Amino acid sequence: MSSQADGDVCTGSGLPLQPSYQRDPSLAEPPPPGEPPYTRGIRAEGYRGRLWTMRQYAGFGSASSTNERFRYLLGRGQTGLSVAFDLPTQMGYDSDDEVARGEVGKVGVAIDHLGDMRTLLADLPLQEVTTSMTINAPASLLLLLYQLAAEERGISGSVLGGTIQNDILKEYAARGTYIFPPRPSMRLVTDTFAYCHQELPRWNPISISGYHIREAGATAPQELAFALSNGLAYVEAALSAGLGLSEFAPRLSFFFNVDNDLFEEVAKFRAARRLWATLMAERFAATDARSRQLRFHAQTAGATLTAQQPLNNVVRVALQALAAVLGGAQSLHTNSYDEALALPSEQAATLALRTQQLLAHESGVARVADPLGGSYLIESLTERLVSEAGTLIAEVDRRGGAVAAIEQGYYQDQIQEASYRHQQQVESGAVVVVGVNRFQDDVPVDVPLLRVDQELEAQQVHSLADHRLARSQVAVAAALDGVERTAQGSDNLLYPMREALRVGATVGEICARLRGIFGVWRPPG
């Protein structure tokens, strides 16, 4: 429970709560599920026709070890793949780069070239499951590697389904794995939109992320406002690049955090759908239902996991997952209880997946669409979140839109202030974190932890050296020159980048050429 200095009882984001709620006659009853503005869900039947995709995020060490984890999870009932990449890959560096030293394979899988992607995807049923890849600055390159590896196995791009995060704006505001300045980065995003429309029609070319904004300390209204404002910026950039709204808008997806405040989080997802449908209709005259429907993946809140009493995290994750399902998520990742200590062990990852399966098959929450719709509290919180987020969206507009607001440091300042206020409340005890600032004990942590093989980096660097020796240097040099020429012009970059990757160029080599043309981003101040 959160409380303000004046003694008001509040939601986790600081919205004041009354002792109880009655029907508010000023609030219009939202339309049924499946009808605009989709407050109550985008499908009339909810989960009756199809459950949400159970997608466990995984990636560590080598491509082969991550492939083994994927096959393990699929064998236990997971219905979608989700790839975590190591920090050098996220930043566009090869594993043998000086800046990659000590980070190879540590927080995700190392992918340097097409051979690594082949190994990562070996024997996985790519035509049957969808794959989400958490990658941003070099997202287009990892998508191209995925396509090339699939096509080598005879799987057409027309049947490949999945999502790349590809949300560079939130990297500048909250996460930090950017490479290029915002303007050329937006070009890469819109080039990817156009490429997917032509080559990968079932692929979602972006997952606009409120998740990392929330993890950085934002409130629920800020998460909504900044993610949706970023979404508006991507729509505007795509339209300016000459794409038709119906060519990309139906494939836009969002990625939200699920924090601890159950009712606020359910209301947040309902507010997100309503806001997006309204914004798309009012600003872009979107009439097609799929261009107005907000589809989202949710992940339980990593920032809420504690190293102290880590088994408490099982309960936190279950409550957060419940909020995501009550709020109508299309896809869900549940964190493992040991993630505050190490990469998830097989035991912890299985329990996280079982949490989703228990919700789906034993709790009854999937039997009715929007089961909390009509709750006086939920409807009031939904309205409040729409209002609070709408005010913030208007401020972003006043500053010139998302790109300008980020360049001015507005997002960053707002998130830092919210994070500081929350930390003050934790330290004062106004916000209780069980096992951390109350109900502590001195029992030592005793859970099995996964450790990445310390020899992995040397093995990856050696494998990369072998790859460089085996390829045609002439073909690679010519293809990289083609990437550079296209970067200097305005044609779609993904086609020359695909050719470069096909003949053996590495992610790091292509990013180095792009750095030479686009430059690198230095945050203001």
The residues spanned by each domain of the chain are 36-428, 471-518
Rounded Cα distance, 468 and 453, in Å: 24
pLDDT the model gives residue 453: 73
Integer Cα distance of 482 and 487 in angstroms: 9
Predicted confidence at residue 525, as pLDDT, reads 66
Contact 248, 193 (CB under 8 A): yes
Tokens standing for residue 205: 């070319």
Asked if 366 contacts 86 with a C-beta cutoff of 8 angstroms, the reply is no
- Which residue shows structure tokens 């190591």? 86
Q: How far, in Å, CA of 112 to CA of 105, rounded?
A: 11
Residues ≥6 apart with Cβ < 8 Å to 472: 503, 504
User: Which residue in the block uniquely carries the two structure tokens 């409340």?
Assistant: 425
Mean pLDDT of 366-385: 98
pLDDT band at 107 (very low <50, low <70, confident <90, very high): confident
Q: Looking at residue 7, what is its pLDDT?
A: 61
> Residues 444-490: pLDDT tens digits?
877 877 677 778 999 999 999 999 999 999 999 999 999 999 999 99
pLDDT above 50 (res 347): yes
* pTM over 0.85, yes/no: yes
3 state SS of 8: coil
Tokens for 447, please give them: 């859970």
**pLDDT score, position 517:** 98
Separation of alpha carbons 480 and 514, rounded Å: 10
Cis peptide before 37 (omega within 30 of 0): yes
Closest CA to 214 of 223, 226, 224, 205: 223
Q: In this prediction, what percent of the chain has a pLDDT beyond 70?
A: 98
User: 58-72, 96-110, 201-215, 371-385: which has the minimum mean pLDDT?
Assistant: 58-72
Contact (CB, 8 A) for 67 and 323? no
Q: Which residue has the tokens 């986790």?
A: 12
Tokens of 487: 């970067």
291 in Cβ contact with 246 (< 8 Å): yes
Report the chain's mean pLDDT, rounded to a whole number: 95
Residues 70-103 pLDDT 10s? 999 999 999 889 999 999 999 999 999 999 999 9
- 43-47, 102-106, 159-163, 387-391, range with the lowest pLDDT: 102-106
38 Rama sector, left if φ>0, alpha if ψ -120 to 50, beta otherwise? left
Query: Fold for domain 36-428?
Result: TIM Barrel (3.20.20)
Question: What's residue 415's pLDDT?
Answer: 97
Determine the 3-state secondary structure of 432 from DSSP. Answer: coil
**How confident is the model over 343-359, as a mean pLDDT?**
93
